Amino acid sequence: MNASERIQAVVSGEMLDRIPLAPLLDHWAANYVGIPVYDLMTNAEKRIEAVLKTASAFRWDMTFLADTAIETLLKVGVPARLKMPGIDLPADVTHQFDESGFMQVTDYDLLESQGLIPFLMTIIERIYPDMTMERALTDLARVNEEITQQGKLLRSQGIEPAIGFVIPGPSFDYFSLARGVNEGLLDLRRHPEKMQKAGRRFCEEMLGLAVGSVAQNNIKRVFIGLSRSSPVFVSSRFFETMILPEIEYYVNGLIDAGITPLLHCDTDWTKFLPYFKRFPKWKCILELDGFTNISKAKELLGSHMAIMGDVPSTLTASGSREEVLLYCKGLIDKIGVNGGFILSTGCSIPVNAKKENIMAMTEAVEHWGWY
Amino acid sequence: MGNDNDFKLLSKSLAELDENSVLRLSDALLKQQMMPLEIVQALAAGMEEVGRLYKEEEYALSELIYAGVIFKSAMAGIRPFLLRSDTVASGMIVMGTVKGDIHDLGKNIIIMLLECYGFKVIDLGVDVPKEKFVESVKESGAKLMGMSALLTTTLPEMKEVIRVLDDTGLRNQVQVMIGGAITSEKFRQEISADFYGKDAIEGIRIAKQVFNTVEHV
């Protein structure tokens, strides 16, 4: 099996020759190849060179295109002020965000009545006063063209590109960043109707953008960020009424368009895992970051969707090669049994991960990962 | 009005996050010239119940935060009626996110709840250099200091802060609690911190333990 066939098989729940390996790569590629993180985030040529070199060196089946470290996407897609390494932060660290609450309650109405682009530009212009709508749209089109070319390049080297678009999440994930987490959470109680109406418009248009982008770049997987929608932040009551319907809308819409949703779950989702059984069988990837109980995920969803994860960031950053090998072997033995498992890092590879620890993941799969 | 049932109803209303009912009841009790401290104690009991429901995963952060907001709204009405002796906070805590890290979500939640429980918190903000932690502990005489971090790259900074507390002879006067998604009990032991707070409610429990008290209202 080649990498592409392996990924297709694992997502479809078919038997495959070996567990696929696909760590979530972003800033670490810069450190690995020895370029400034700033360059990785801003320069498409240097970024793809770093991604290709890293994914090849560690013999990955699938790699992210450092999508979650692209300055343009972060500025347009995340409603918080981006702090850049090398400018606002030390040169060799990951970016961070200043969440000052750039969205007001009335902006829910704006989103509902005028749609996503006018809404986004209202928020973006508050965060980055010099950024115009024309520039943002031009930059986005350029990035998608770059991703299209980069995807082709990776496939020509036998590596599958991971995702063709990043959906920031259900609207609540976006709103809680834009409003600030406290205000976002309070809005669930104080302005639920406004949130729901605005959220509906947000999801409809976001899904349209995702499907359109994938049609161009032909990378038929879409990342759905699930962070503040988690049981850590919201109780079942709000999840069921405000959030789950939106995730379901994305999932079904993407699947209808022939796209695999990659549900990227930050923090502990164990409590909400049973809800995921309602999604169509063997059409999704559930990506876990080390905080969700992955054994429970296997028990509940192991015959329903592919599970991806979850070598913890603290382990790759501070642990030993032997500890990583042992952790990976545990995953391969327990989560990899009967297929449906992609070995990956828990969220992104941390910027200070040790090379030998990332290589240990490769060694583990190549040694123990064969069926 | 003004009997035990009213206080119980006030506690229950807060536990059930019924904002209007909490504000209406606390106002009515004040108007009946009830002892304001008793009203505050009823609210504190409500917060305890919220904490219990959070521990049992019935509630999530959204409920914790909302409870804190309701508590603070009620307290704004009660505070002018409290005696001076009622309002002296008996625990001083220094809190901050360590240098190199500007994440403040978890830190802000625990600070809000600590204040609800009557602790006095000095919030040093984010990206806090070790010298600032030490200086604040020295100046305030705080017996508890909390450090937060979310990035693996900033974990070593926690160890540095503790080292400087040691070097300046302050380590014996202050207990150190750490928190944040990437911290753990194992890491606490590695850096010789005193407490690891898995979540905000655990942080409250630690503060109560350090200050050896049940209620700080």
pLDDT of residue B15: 96
Q: CA A305 to CA A297: how far, in whole Å?
A: 10
- How far is the C-alpha of A252 from the C-alpha of A261, rounded, in Å? 9
Complex-level ipTM: 0.85
Q: What is the pLDDT of residue B84?
A: 57
Residue contact A234–B108, C-beta within 8 A: no
B176: nearest Cα among B161, B157, B198: B161
Residues of B in contact with A351 (CB under 8 A): 152-153
Three-state DSSP state, B149:
coil
Spacing of C-alpha A151 from chain mean position: 17
Please state the φ and ψ torsions of residue A229, each to the nearest 5 degrees: -85, 5
Residues of A with CB under 8 A from a CB of B: 83, 89-90, 93-94, 96-99, 181-182, 185-186, 188-189, 231-235, 238, 267, 271, 291, 313-314, 317-318, 350-352
The CA-atom distances, in angstroms, between A168 and each of A122, A247, A334, B153 are 17, 11, 31, 25
Is A149's pLDDT higher than 80?
A: yes
Half-sphere exposure of A105 (CA within 13 A, CB side): 11
Q: In this complex, do A185 and B59 lie within 8 Å of one another by their Cβ atoms?
A: no
CA dihedral sign of residues A228, A24, A37, A69: negative
For residue A314, the model assigns a pLDDT of: 93
Q: A231: closest CA among B199, B18, B19? A: B199
Q: What is the pLDDT of residue B85?
A: 54
pLDDT of A14 reads 96
Pair B185, B60: CB distance under 8 Å:
no
Give me the pLDDT at residue B5, please: 87
Q: Can you tell me whether residue B60 is helix, strand or coil?
A: coil
Mean pLDDT, chain A, rounded, equals 96
Residue of chain B minimizing CA distance to A96: B102
- Note down pLDDT in tens along chain B; length 217 residues: 457 788 999 999 999 999 999 999 999 998 887 778 888 889 989 998 998 999 899 999 899 889 999 998 998 888 888 765 555 556 899 999 999 888 888 888 889 888 888 899 999 999 999 999 999 999 999 999 999 998 888 899 999 999 999 999 999 999 999 999 889 999 999 999 999 998 888 998 999 899 976 443 3
User: Which among A135, A160, A110 is positioned nearest to A6, based on CA atoms?
Assistant: A160
What residue of B is the nearest CA neighbor of A188? B62
pLDDT at B213: 60
- Which residue's entry shows tokens 């941390």? A350
Q: Please give the residue of chain B at the shortest CA–CA distance from A181.
A: B105
Residues 151-210 of chain B with CB under 8 A from chain A are 151-153, 155, 181-182, 184, 187
Q: How many helices (H) and strands (E) does chain B have?
A: 10, 5
What's the rounded Cα separation, in Å, for the pair A212 and A209?
5
Tell me the sheet residues that pair with A265.
Answer: A226, A288
Tell me the three state secondary structure of residue A110.
Answer: helix
Q: What is the pLDDT of residues A276-319, one digit of tens each?
A: 999 999 999 999 999 999 999 999 999 999 999 999 999 999 99
Q: Do B152 and A318 touch (CB under 8 A)?
A: yes
Q: In a 3-state reduction of DSSP, which class is residue A14?
A: coil
Chain A residue with minimum CA distance to B64: A233
Residues A59-78: what's their mean pLDDT? 95
Non-local (6+) Cβ contacts of B83 within 8 A are B36, B37
Domain containing residue A204 = 3-368
Residue A133 has a pLDDT of: 81
In chain A, residues with a C-beta closer than 8 Å to the C-beta of B60 are 231-235
Helix residue spans in chain A (DSSP H): 3-12, 28-33, 37-42, 44-57, 71-77, 106-114, 116-127, 133-156, 171-179, 181-190, 192-217, 236-238, 244-256, 294-301, 313-318, 321-334, 355-368
- State the CATH number of the domain containing residue A42: 3.20.20.210
Which long-range contacts does A107-110 make (Cβ < 8 Å, 24+ apart)? A107/A178, A107/A198, A108/A175, A108/A187, A108/A191, A108/A194, A108/A195, A108/A197, A108/A198, A109/A194, A109/A198
**What is the domain count for chain A?**
1
Q: In what order do the strands lie in the sheet with A165-167?
A: A165-167, A221-226, A260-265, A285-288, A306-311, A341-345
CA distance B214 to B195: 18
| Predicted pLDDT of residue A120 | 93
Domains with residue ranges and CATH for chain B: 4-87 (1.10.1240.10), 92-210 (3.40.50.280)
The residue of A176, A179, A182, A357 whose CB has the most chain B CBs within 10 angstroms, and thus the best one to mutate to test that interface, is A182
